Chain A
Amino acid sequence: MKTPLLPLRAVITGIQRETEDVRTYSLSLEDSLYSAKPGQFNMVGYPGIGEAPISLSSIVSKGRFQHTIRAVGRVTKFIERFKEGDDLYLRGPYGSCWPLEDATGKDILLVAGGVGVAPLRPVVQEILRRRDSFEKVTLIYGSRSPDNMLFLSEIDMYRKDIEVFLTVDEVPPHMKWDYDVGLVTQLLDKAMLNPIKTFAFICGPEIMMLFISRGLFMRGFLPSRVYVSLERRMKCGIAQCGHCQHGSKFVCKDGPVFLYRDVSRLPDGLL
Chain B
Amino acid sequence: MTGENVFRSSNLLIKKDSFFKFIDALRSEHRVFGPVKERNYVAFREISSSTDLFMEYQTTMLSPGKMFIYKPREDILKFRMEAPVSIEEITPTIEKQVIVGIHPCDINAILYLDRTFLGVFPDPFYKARRESTILIGLNCMQVSGNCFCSSVGAGPFLKAQAGYDMILTDFGEDYLVEIKSSKASELFTIKGKEAGPDEWRVKSEKEETVLKSFKKVIDIDGLDDLFMKNLDHPVWTTTADEKCLSCSNCVMVCPTCFCYDIVDETSMDLKGVRRIRQLDACQDLRFAEVHAGNFRLRRASRLRQFVIHNLNYTNQYGVIKTVGCGRCITWCPTKIDLTEMAKEIQGSPIR
- Of the listed residues B277, B290, B304, B305, the one surrounded by the most CB atoms of chain A closer than 10 A to its CB is B290
Contact bitstring B279-293, A, C-beta under 8 A = 1, else 0: 010100011111110
Asked whether B125 lies within 8 Å of A268 as measured between CB atoms, the reply is no
Contacting residues, chain A, for B289 (C-beta < 8 A): 233
With an 8 A cutoff between CB atoms, is B93 at the interface? no
Q: Which chain B residue lies CB-closest to A89?
A: B85
Contact partner of B260 (CB less than 8 A), chosen from A205, A233, A242, is A242
In the assembled complex, the CB of B274 is this many whole angstroms from the nearest CB of chain A, namely 9
With an 8 A cutoff between CB atoms, is A62 at the interface? no
Asked whether A241 lies within 8 Å of B295 as measured between CB atoms, the reply is no
Asked whether A3 lies within 8 Å of B123 as measured between CB atoms, the reply is yes
With an 8 A cutoff between CB atoms, is B72 at the interface? no
Asked whether A268 lies within 8 Å of B127 as measured between CB atoms, the reply is no
Asked whether A232 lies within 8 Å of B295 as measured between CB atoms, the reply is yes
Beyond A5-B275, A245-B309, A269-B295, is A48–B266 a contact (Cβ under 8 Å)? Answer: yes
Kindly identify, within residues 1 to 42 of chain A, every residue whose CB is under 8 Å from any CB belonging to chain B.
Answer: 1-7, 9
In the assembled complex, the CB of B282 is this many whole angstroms from the nearest CB of chain A, namely 7
Asked whether B291 lies within 8 Å of A2 as measured between CB atoms, the reply is no
In the assembled complex, the CB of B342 is this many whole angstroms from the nearest CB of chain A, namely 15
Kindly identify, within residues 218 to 248 of chain A, every residue whose CB is under 8 Å from any CB belonging to chain B.
Answer: 231-233, 235-236, 238-243, 245, 247-248
Asked whether B280 lies within 8 Å of A240 as measured between CB atoms, the reply is no
Main secondary structure of the interface of A (DSSP, over half): loop
Contacting residues, chain B, for A232 (C-beta < 8 A): 288, 290, 295
In the assembled complex, the CB of B291 is this many whole angstroms from the nearest CB of chain A, namely 4
Contacting residues, chain B, for A1 (C-beta < 8 A): 122, 124, 127
Contact bitstring B307-325, A, C-beta under 8 A = 1, else 0: 0110011111000000000
Beyond A9-B85, A268-B305, is A4–B290 a contact (Cβ under 8 Å)? Answer: no
Asked whether B290 lies within 8 Å of A242 as measured between CB atoms, the reply is no
Asked whether B89 lies within 8 Å of A235 as measured between CB atoms, the reply is no
Asked whether A3 lies within 8 Å of B295 as measured between CB atoms, the reply is no
With an 8 A cutoff between CB atoms, is B246 at the interface? no
Asked whether A3 lies within 8 Å of B76 as measured between CB atoms, the reply is yes
In the assembled complex, the CB of B196 is this many whole angstroms from the nearest CB of chain A, namely 44
Contacting residues, chain A, for B350 (C-beta < 8 A): none
Instruction: Kindly state the separation between the CA atoms of A3 and B253 in the bound complex, as whole angstroms.
Output: 26
Kindly identify, within residues 44 to 62 of chain A, every residue whose CB is under 8 Å from any CB belonging to chain B.
Answer: 47-51
With an 8 A cutoff between CB atoms, is B258 at the interface? yes
Asked whether B287 lies within 8 Å of A233 as measured between CB atoms, the reply is yes
Contact bitstring A103-117, B, C-beta under 8 A = 1, else 0: 000000000000000
Asked whether B85 lies within 8 Å of A268 as measured between CB atoms, the reply is no
Beyond A267-B308, A269-B295, is A47–B79 a contact (Cβ under 8 Å)? Answer: yes
With an 8 A cutoff between CB atoms, is B84 at the interface? yes
In the assembled complex, the CB of B319 is this many whole angstroms from the nearest CB of chain A, namely 12
Instruction: Kindly state the separation between the CA atoms of A70 and B273 in the bound complex, as whole angstroms.
Output: 25
Contacting residues, chain B, for A240 (C-beta < 8 A): 116-117, 121, 123, 258, 260
Asked whether A241 lies within 8 Å of B260 as measured between CB atoms, the reply is yes
Instruction: Kindly state the separation between the CA atoms of A249 and B308 in the bound complex, as whole angstroms.
Output: 13
Contacting residues, chain A, for B304 (C-beta < 8 A): 267
Contacting residues, chain A, for B223 (C-beta < 8 A): none
Asked whether A73 lies within 8 Å of B291 as measured between CB atoms, the reply is yes
In the assembled complex, the CB of B244 is this many whole angstroms from the nearest CB of chain A, namely 16
With an 8 A cutoff between CB atoms, is B262 at the interface? yes
Beyond A2-B124, A232-B288, A243-B288, is A7–B301 a contact (Cβ under 8 Å)? Answer: no
With an 8 A cutoff between CB atoms, is A72 at the interface? yes
Asked whether B262 lies within 8 Å of A2 as measured between CB atoms, the reply is no
A-B contacts, 28 of them at CB < 8 A, read A2-B124, A3-B90, A3-B124, A5-B76, A5-B275, A6-B77, A9-B85, A47-B81, A47-B87, A47-B264, A50-B263, A51-B262, A73-B291, A87-B84, A235-B261, A235-B262, A238-B120, A238-B121, A240-B117, A240-B121, A241-B259, A242-B282, A243-B288, A267-B231, A267-B305, A267-B308, A268-B296, A268-B305
Other A-B pairs beyond A47-B81, A245-B282, 5, CB < 8 Å: A51-B262, A240-B123, A240-B260, A243-B280, A243-B287
Sorted from nearest, which 3 A-B pairs have the closest CB atoms? A242-B259, A248-B313, A47-B79
